[in-house]
A and B are shown apart, each in its own frame.
Chain A
Amino acid sequence: MDTFLHYAWLIPLFPLLAFIVIVSFGRQLKEGAAIVGIGLTAVSFGIAVLAFWQRFRDGGVDYNYVVDWLHVGDIVINMGFEVTPLNAMMLVIVTLVSLLVQIYSKGYMHGDERFPVFYQYLALFTFSMLGLVISPNLLQVYIFWELVGVCSFLLVGYYYFKPEAKAAAKKAFIVTRIGDLGLFIGICLLFWWTGSFEYGPIFESVALGRLEPWMITVAAILIFIGAMGKSGQFPLHTWLPDAMEGPTPVSALIHAATMVAAGVYLVAATYPLFIASDTALTVVAYVGGITAIFAASIGLTQRDIKRVLAYSTVSQLGYMMMALGVAGAAGYVAGSFHLMTHAFFKALLFLGAGSVIHAVHTQDVFEMGGLWKKMPVTALTFLIGCLAIAGIFPFAGFWSKEAILGAVYGAHRYDLLVIALVAAFFTAFYMFRLFFLTFTGKARGKHEAHESPGVMTGPLLILALLAVVAGFVNTPYAPLLTDWLLSTGTGTAIVNVFGEGTEHAASWLQIVALLISVLGVILAYLMYGKKSVSPNSIPEAMPWLYRLSYRKYYVDELYQNVIVRPLGWLGIILNGFDKYVVDGLVGLTAKITQGIGALHARVQSGQIQSYGAMVLFGLLLLILAISLTVEGGGLFGFGR
């Protein structure tokens, strides 16, 4: 029986319905819009869980259903949906996080004058994200890929009157679109090389060796460029930290748990393409590794609580990419596994940060402090999030990080292993720096903080629970997720190429990783909790290093001077060219023509007359030409 799988297409449609209802009746609904959004997303979540459960219980083949969408010549383009282990998991994550964020937002956005608009965008985003996940072909993926991008744009620019929000929204759209261009080209090329947009036929062509190796490499890298834009991989990461200008629940949903993970999901969903090209995999692994350490090193010095979390997100996404890049069943599973655990604990951290910001009205961690007593629920759940992301046993992050390290080690990429361990140290350090600065010590700002209402702390508690237990679905002792992800479709394809190869990290590696994380926590404690080590010792010793990190390696400045400004100059130069050369030359020709015309006839005093004369002239020409050329001569006797 596959009832719920058959109805999986309803999962995205309920949020779409919510969007339509709120667009139509937003003004009447006011803050009731939240109820519509929450209620309909809850229905989607219910169906997603049932479909997931059914998919899990029954196993078997992937469910796929398509309908005709457009005929072009002899080609038929389909739209439809599929349910695979990977996307069944994603459906649950997306609906769950979206549901919790919408509940939370009811409190967080209370009193906002554009409240219904906010829920409208959230509903549209949820629809698009679910549509992306459920898509069975690359064209459909691209369609929803762009739609989640525009929702992200709208939500980052939600406070449209703030110049920073406006700039951030624009940047988010354009930088991701550069990545999208890669995906776009990749899809087009794959279509001509394989004759299809559908995952199945594309993978089949690859498996049967119908594509030259270079084609596979090109297509895979182009798709990866799309993934880099969405998932904030270096060097297309610059938009993600700026995107924090959006309301904090948006950062939790879109810029932490779901949309930014879409890049990772895309690589996982097209994995058969990647495993056919060593080059492409190597690119993925190193871009991921570089991003992981690069972003983590920026996170060390930022003052804005959301920006620290944003760089942490970039870094963790790099981790996932790195896992996928080292290939093999272990890498595939570890990347997907970390995607799931990260969705929970990072959403938790953002919502916790939102709760703090809601209370103290600042985002600068140096203006916070001493909130542990005033906001116990927020503080405790935030601590759980920090422990999870730092990879402390037995929280969720421990298991998924351990899986990634194991995969990297198993693939003998020791350089990446070192990077991963250093990044793990950084992560533990900056997360606990954040924790100690925010919740311990004395209050540094002038604010009367109170715990947030239940509608906000409720979602925090649920996510905290998940941040504790989510890792247990895939421990070395009971690798449920591994078995499941590798059971069908893409999973079996990977196993066919690489073998099971899912052995977990050697126990010494687990212990080393744990020790490194604990070391990071301890250092943060000494600097910001106990304050026995001066936090300024490193910036004072190496100010340039500190500044490099604090100014984010000047990447934004580089882009501004190398791309944006020259584009403006080019535009101004071409504008002059258009005005004076292109238009000028034609104008000159026109003047000469007019001059000649003026010599010849006075009737051409106005444009209309000259124009009429031309038509008349043409007609005469026509008759003359015909008379001249008709065989046997014309009536006028020409040519006899």
Chain B
Amino acid sequence: MVSGANILLSSLVFSPLLAILVIACIPGRRFAAIKQVGILGTLLPLILAFWMFGLFNYDTSNLQFVERHDWISIPIGLAQTGTVFAFEINYELGVDGISMPLILLTAIIGTLAAVASWQIKKRLKEFFILLHLLLIGMLGVFAADNLFLFFIFFELTLVPMYFLIGIWGYGEREHAANKFLLYNGIGSGIMLLAFIAIFVVMRTLNIDQIAAILTTPDHPVTAALTPTVRFALFMALFVAFAIKLPVFPFHTWMLKVHVQAPPSIVMIHSGILLKMGAYGLLRMGIGFFPEQAYQFSTWLAILGIINVLYGAVLAFVQKDLKMVLAYSSISHMGIVLLGFAAMNSIGFQGAMFQVVSHGFISALLFFLIGVIWDRTQTSMIDDLGGLSKSMPFVSGVFLAGGMASLGLPGMSGFISEFFAFLGLFGRMPVLAAIGALGIVLTAVYLLRAIMRTTFGPTPSRFTGLADAQPMEVIPMVVLLGFIILIGVYPAVLGNPMQQALKTIVPIVTGIGG
């Protein structure tokens, strides 16, 4: 392996620090310089992420780029053997086929969100510092192989988000920020309790080890864990991540965030932060307690269907484009649940594809809403219309993004939707068929929203709008490019995932079959 690869992952996770340091040294009024550094700074994690992806070994299910260092050790008691037992918090990072694509996604969306932040007009210095902090948190969540680290990084995303929404958002930004914090704080609290309980029994915080021990039948350490306790722990983890995903009825906070946060932050929020819920659910919920997840899978499917259909019907009647997309996100995250509920490799792959695919698609759509807002100062559907005339490029990309979102083949949304449903049809065909109604409803609400915005007669006030500028074209083309790449050649995403999914699936199906 290339020398330096042993600290590659840490370098990647903390690489945004460099930009933070540089920006901290630039005087706050030098907007242009801050923007340049803010955007260029995100290229470093991007390059490192692609480098790592290049080195990533597809043929092993083991963690790669592993880093383990002793970090904190608080001696707190004597074990029966007489040795001192210590509360150890180690620094443990590693990636596998599930986290690798998400790290890549994070780096890509991070850069594009920075580009999209060019329209931010106040307190740029703080904005970009917080943005880079957020980036560290997100990268860390996907790289952590330790519950404590995971928790810290998870929390690290909340604080910058709170300020990014509360300071740079629209009208009701403070309300949205508080609501965001309230819900996520509760989620974190539940997650923390579950982590503590797990640690108390397992005596380790290492995610890989915990999963290995918990899924070994009759392992002495886990003898204390009765099925009831396990189920309680699974449910705690499920609720914690369900708030993040979000699952009905925990979803109302994210509506506010989607409407009030600035577009570039919503790109990150909808594109990546929601995905931490899906990731946690797979890695910890299902990874630690496959048996309980299997028992719960019918409920996963039912909750997934509720998300899919409820989100779609509500998206159909919204007046604000942002709300349409917010409910659309709820609907699409339901598909993730459906994929998990399938409890087979096809369903899991569909769910993970959906996580990545929706990341790109929602980032694209929210970016476009930002562009439209920039021209028209509105995102209300009834105020818009006929934009194709003056903004053909933006309107075309908007339609393409909508098509990707409604699962048009040749785009990533189709692959993820198809495999999530295909997986579920293998286990619960009736529920899958009900959920599949969402395929029609998605088309109904997306076409309504997009065609009312871009088709139809052009009002005179919109005849002179400027089409996309070069700085806006870049994110659109890059995002659309990835959406089409995954849609046409899904193996680019599927192959790295194979080995990691192969380790989860037999455990789950071994229980079920």
Contact = CB atoms under 8 A, between A and B. Distances in A.
Interface stretch (B1-9, B36-44, B233-241, B497-505): B497-505
A69 B491 contact: yes
A62 interface: no
Contacts of A627: 76-77
A61 interface: no
A595 to B, nearest CB: 14
Contacts of B182: 590, 607
A633 interface: yes
B397 interface: no
B249 A582 contact: yes
B196 A174 contact: no
B78 A630 contact: yes
A574 B318 CA distance: 11
A99 to B, nearest CB: 24
A578 B403 contact: no
Interface string B473-513: 00000000000000000110011001001100100000000
Interface in A235-252: none
A405 B397 CA distance: 49
A567 B155 CA distance: 40
Contacts of B429: 188-189, 192
B142 interface: no
B344 interface: yes
A562 interface: no
A191 B388 contact: no
Interface in B346-368: 346, 349
Contacts of B451: 157, 166, 169-170
A568 B317 contact: yes
B501 A181 contact: no
A173 B443 contact: yes
B414 interface: yes
A515 interface: no
B436 interface: yes
Interface string A176-214: 011011001100110110000000000000000000000
Interface string B382-396: 000010110000000
A192 B439 CA distance: 20
- Size band of the interface chain B makes with A: 35 or more
Contact of B439 (A71, A139, A147, A184): A184
Nearest to A159: B455
Interface residues of A, number: 68
Contacts, number: 192
A629 B85 CA distance: 11
Nearest to A190: B425
B316 interface: yes
B421 A188 contact: yes
A431 to B, nearest CB: 34
A185 B458 contact: no
Interface of B: 74-80, 85, 87, 155, 158-159, 162, 177-178, 181-183, 185, 188-189, 192-193, 196-197, 199-200, 248-252, 310, 313-314, 316-318, 344-346, 349, 386, 388-389, 403, 408-410, 414, 418-419, 421-422, 425-426, 429, 432-433, 436-437, 439-440, 443-444, 447-448, 451, 454-458, 490-491, 494-495, 498, 501-502, 505
19 contacts: A69-B490, A71-B491, A71-B495, A72-B345, A72-B346, A73-B501, A139-B418, A146-B414, A185-B432, A185-B433, A191-B425, A578-B252, A590-B182, A618-B193, A626-B76, A627-B76, A627-B77, A632-B78, A635-B78
Given A169-B451, A626-B76, 16 more contacts: A70-B490, A71-B494, A72-B346, A73-B346, A146-B414, A161-B388, A177-B439, A184-B421, A188-B421, A189-B425, A574-B313, A582-B248, A583-B252, A615-B188, A618-B189, A630-B77
